[in-house]
Amino acid sequence: MSSETREHVREVAARLGYRASATARALRTGRSRALSVIVPDSSWSWYEAGVRSVSRAAAERGYRVLLHVVPLDLTSTARGKGSSPTATAIADLADLPSEGLILFAPALHSSVQEQAARLGLPVVAVDDVARDNPVPTVSCDNRDGARAAVGHLLTRGRRRIAHLTISPHVGFARDRHQGYLDALAQAGIRADSRLVVTHQAMTPPARIPELEEFLAEGPECDALFTVSDFMAAAALRTLRSTGRRVPDDVAVVSFDDGTSAPLLDPPLTTVRQPYDAMGETAVDLLMRQIRGE
C-alpha cells in the first residue's frame, strides 16, 4: 500500500470515528494487551483500593483490566486439594483474551496453582505472603504497620491496649497481632492474653458479640487496636452501645485506611496500606513474567 493510500484510509477512518478492533489486533499480534484481575465478592474496601491501583498502573502501561468477581474464597488461603471458586474463575479465563492474572487472594490452594499452570498464565498475588507460596506475592509490611499503630497509642499515654482480631490462621491477622506484641514489648509492657479479642468471622456484624462480652466482663482497657478498618466500624458501634466514649475512654487505631475510614464517627486513625506502590509492583512483576524475564 502506498503512503498516499495509507494516509487516505486513516483520514476516512478518523472522519467515520472508526476504532481498530482489539480482537483483530490480538489475532494479528498474538497479544491482547489485557490483564485479568480476580477479586473476592466482599464489601471490605481494601479490595476496592487495591483494584483501583492495579487498574491505574496497567493503563499507564497500555493494558486494559478485565475484572472477575468471585465468592469470598477462604479455601484459597489454605493448602488443600479439590477445587475452589478462585480456581474455577481461572479456568474460565481460557475463553478470554488475557496475558496475565493478578489475584487478590493468597494462591496457596493447589487447584489455584494448577489451573494457572494449565493455562500457562503468568500470575501475581496481592495478599498475604507465605514462605512456601510459589506465586510472586505483593503485600504491605503488616507486622511493622501494626507495631507503628500500637506505638502511636503508647505515645498518647495508653497502656491497657486491647487487640480486636480474627482467626490467626489468616496471614495478615497473624502478622498484625505479632506487631501488636512487638510494640508492647518495646515499651516494656507485659502482654496480657485477656486483652486479645478474637472475632470468628471475616465479616463483622453491626456489633461484635465477642467485644461486647469483653467490655462487660473482661479487664479494663483504655485503647483498642483493630485488625482492619472493616472491623473498626463495628467496634466503634459496639463501644458506643456500651457507653464508652471514643477517644476519651477508649482510643481506637486501625489498619488499612480504606474508603470508610474518614466517614466513621469519629474519623478513624488508621495505618494506610501503600495501595499505589502495591499496584505498581504487582503490575511490574506481571509484566516481567509476560516478557519472559
Confidence of residue 259 (pLDDT cuts 50, 70, 90): confident
Is the pLDDT at 57 greater than 70? The verdict is: yes
Percentage of the chain beyond pLDDT 90 is: 53
Is the pLDDT at 107 greater than 80? The verdict is: no
Dihedral angle computed from the Cα positions of residues 156, 44, 213 and 176, in that order, rounded to the nearest 10 degrees: -50
Nine-digit cell string for 5: 493510500
Q: Which amino acid is at 33?
A: R
Angle between helices 275-290 and 45-60 in degrees, nearest 10 = 50
Backbone angles phi, psi at 209, to 5 degrees: -60, -40
pLDDT tens by residue, 280-290: 999 999 999 99
Greatest distance between any 2 Cα atoms in the chain? 86
Q: Are 170 and 77 in contact (CB under 8 A)?
A: yes
Mean pLDDT, range 32-46, rounded to an integer: 83
Determine the pLDDT at residue 85. 79
Q: Are 254 and 234 in contact (CB under 8 A)?
A: no
Confidence of residue 58 (pLDDT cuts 50, 70, 90): very high
Nine-digit cell string for 146: 501494626
Determine the pLDDT at residue 120. 87
Determine the pLDDT at residue 262. 84
Q: Are 15 and 80 in contact (CB under 8 A)?
A: no
On average, the pLDDT of the chain sits at: 84
Question: Which residue is listed with cell 494516509?
Answer: 7
Mean pLDDT, range 171-188, rounded to an integer: 96
Confidence of residue 265 (pLDDT cuts 50, 70, 90): confident
CB atoms < 10 A from the CB of 228, how many?
A: 23
Query: Nearest-CA neighbor of 230 among 276, 167, 169, 164?
Result: 164
Q: Are 26 and 32 in contact (CB under 8 A)?
A: yes
* CB-count exposure of residue 38 (10 Å: 0-12, 13-18, 19+): buried
pLDDT tens by residue, 64-100: 999 988 876 554 444 545 567 788 888 888 888 899 9
3-state secondary structure of 156: coil
pLDDT tens by residue, 191-214: 999 999 999 876 777 889 999 999
Confidence of residue 23 (pLDDT cuts 50, 70, 90): very low
Tell me which range, 88-92, 113-117, 128-132, 209-213, is most confidently predicted by mean pLDDT: 209-213
Confidence of residue 21 (pLDDT cuts 50, 70, 90): very low
Q: Which of 44-53, 118-127, 158-167, 220-229 has the lowest mean pLDDT?
A: 44-53
